[in-house]
Structure 1
């Protein structure tokens, strides 16, 4: 499926909100669950969480924000250049990748 071409793997923690993720394996997507209290297994995710906390401070419920605000936070976060990405932005790299997927 095209979905599996775009998303090859998904790594999540063991929260109940991710319980259904393993169903994506039927589409050819590998799903991995990090061990409890092992944030080092998801270092990039933890870094993105720290960036996101600029908008939603730790301890504050995400439910206090509208869907539009959350989308704006994500858009703003994904438009920040990352050293780990050679100073490209996640948005730019994802768009470039999608261009190659859909051109094939």
Structure 2
């Protein structure tokens, strides 16, 4: 992206959706120094992705009812 390629051009090369490229760039872009310089860091993007994935999905009923289970036990 820093070499002037658009999200569509990158997506064509990677055989994925342009929105996927945009999301990844948004996820992995970090501010350096005083916030004036922005760079893409793959490791930062991956850790953000893993954090978001760990928080998504339906939560177990067992985890929400632990007070009742402790009371019955």
- TM-score normalised by structure 2 residue count: 0.32
Which structure would you say has the larger Rg?
A: 2
Q: Which has the higher contact order (CA 8 A, sep 6+)?
A: 1
